[in-house]
Amino acid sequence: MNHKQGAIHFVANNNLKFEDGPKPLFVRPSSAAPVQKKNEEQKQPSREEVRALLDVPEIKDRCADLLSRYPEPQGALLEVLWLVQGVLGWVPTEGIRWAAEVCSCAPAHALGVATFYTMYNHAPKGKFLLQFCRNISCAIKGAQPLIKYIENKLGIKSGETTPDGLFTILQVECLGSCGNGPMMLVNDDFATDVVDGQLKMKRGTTLTEESIDRIVEWCKAHANNVPKRDVLGGIVKGHMGHPGVPGAIAKPQVADYAPPSPVLNVKAEADETGASLTWKGAPEFTKLVVEKKNGSNWEVVGEPSVKDKCFVDAAGKVGDTYRMIATSGERVAKPSLEAVATQKPVPEEKAV
């Protein structure tokens, strides 16, 4: 190495000179450098392998259905990534790129999303993904000893897969079944026990060492016919999609589907200055009319502004009947309920 003698003696005199001007110094360490990598590199399938599995009519139909649900294609990104995981069992890099293309977003964006959410697997998992809750309710009821038990039983640590590729153990946060804690997910099934040859999470049951044994046995028995679930919980037929999206047939909501809003909660209180009306108005009102009953006819007594909180009919007295009619744009609502003016309570003198 070319050591520059006397280059640095004092901080104050630290004026390094480069005789030969700016030159890129960037040198990558050779691959032989003795650096211990923390993680093994995950082997990724090629673009062609991934596309051969994903570019099939069935998946394309699902994607079209998903894209029609959101005003922007990016909205379907999580669901499309689920489809990738449903087909491949995990989300390889090329699968993320495929999802980004389907949802018309940048691949880097899709990568950020796919790594943010913990349920997307970035490495292949065993046939049975055993997820154990380690959150507080399950921890109180002894989740950790059970996790130790299954780790010993299968001979692997959490996060690892058995050599036969059958089981992967994961410790996860709350699975939303604290009443059955400790409990687990076997792939997508909540399970505390096996009942009649089915994984079950019955009310009041919790996971025990014996039930874990039964669940493991059940899994081994089903190793060759793992129950297949749709990653998005089945297809919903009949929806119209989101209005304005290619592939959707839905039309925007019509503005006048509901009757126009009437004035609510009209109250009239009278004293010597007249009858004062209060009401509850909707923000869409454009015009308000106050009417007073005169025999069997209704007479208009005033048009308060839609922003007013109170209207006073100077001629009003106790026993008069009022109603209000609101207009919203071009539509006139039905009249409000009739309000009979009552005596206004005398405001109490404030105690000094």
Closest to another protein by CB, 80 or 268: 80
Is residue 78 a contact residue for another protein (CB under 8 A)?
Answer: yes
Is residue 235 a contact residue for another protein (CB under 8 A)?
Answer: yes
Q: Is 134 helix (H, G, I), strand (E, B) or coil?
A: coil
Q: With CB under 8 A as the contact rule, which of the stretches 39-47, 146-154, 157-165, 315-323 interacts with another protein?
A: 39-47
Q: With CB under 8 A as the contact rule, which of the stretches 20-28, 208-216, 298-306, 343-351 interacts with another protein?
A: 20-28
Is residue 108 a contact residue for another protein (CB under 8 A)?
Answer: yes
Residue type, 176: G
- Asked if 43 contacts 124 with a C-beta cutoff of 8 angstroms, the reply is no
- Asked if 171 contacts 147 with a C-beta cutoff of 8 angstroms, the reply is yes
Name residues contacting another protein, limited to 155-174 (CB under 8 A): 172-174
Is residue 120 a contact residue for another protein (CB under 8 A)?
Answer: yes
Residue type, 120: Y
* The one among 238, 246, 295, 347 contacting another protein by CB under 8 A: 238
Is residue 275 a contact residue for another protein (CB under 8 A)?
Answer: no
- Asked if 320 contacts 275 with a C-beta cutoff of 8 angstroms, the reply is yes
Q: With CB under 8 A as the contact rule, which of the stretches 8-16, 51-59, 311-319, 342-350 interacts with another protein?
A: 8-16
Name the token pair of 232.
């998005």
Is residue 7 a contact residue for another protein (CB under 8 A)?
Answer: no
Name residues contacting another protein, limited to 278-317 (CB under 8 A): 280, 282-284
Name residues contacting another protein, limited to 40-69 (CB under 8 A): 41, 44, 69
* The one among 52, 56, 139, 223 contacting another protein by CB under 8 A: 139
Sign of the Cα torsion 29, 35, 38, 41 reads positive
Residue type, 54: L
Name the token pair of 275.
């009858």
Closest to another protein by CB, 183 or 301: 183
Q: How many residues does the chain have?
A: 352
* The one among 84, 113, 212, 289 contacting another protein by CB under 8 A: 113
- Asked if 299 contacts 291 with a C-beta cutoff of 8 angstroms, the reply is yes
* Contacts of range 283-287, beta carbons closer than 8 Å, 24 or more positions apart: 284/328, 284/329, 285/261, 285/326, 285/327, 285/328, 286/327, 286/328, 286/329, 287/326, 287/327
* The one among 260, 274, 302, 335 contacting another protein by CB under 8 A: 260
Is residue 149 a contact residue for another protein (CB under 8 A)?
Answer: no
Return the exposure string of 274-308: e unless at least 16 CB atoms fall within 10 Å of the residue's CB, then b: bbbbebebeeebeebbbbbeeeeebeebbebebee
Is residue 192 a contact residue for another protein (CB under 8 A)?
Answer: no
Is residue 118 a contact residue for another protein (CB under 8 A)?
Answer: yes
Is residue 125 a contact residue for another protein (CB under 8 A)?
Answer: no
Closest CA to 189 of 203, 201, 205, 174: 201
**Cα gap 168→195, rounded to integer Å:** 23
* The one among 32, 236, 346, 351 contacting another protein by CB under 8 A: 236
Shortest distance in whole angstroms from residue 317 CB to another protein: 29
Shortest distance in whole angstroms from residue 316 CB to another protein: 25
* The one among 64, 87, 166, 231 contacting another protein by CB under 8 A: 231
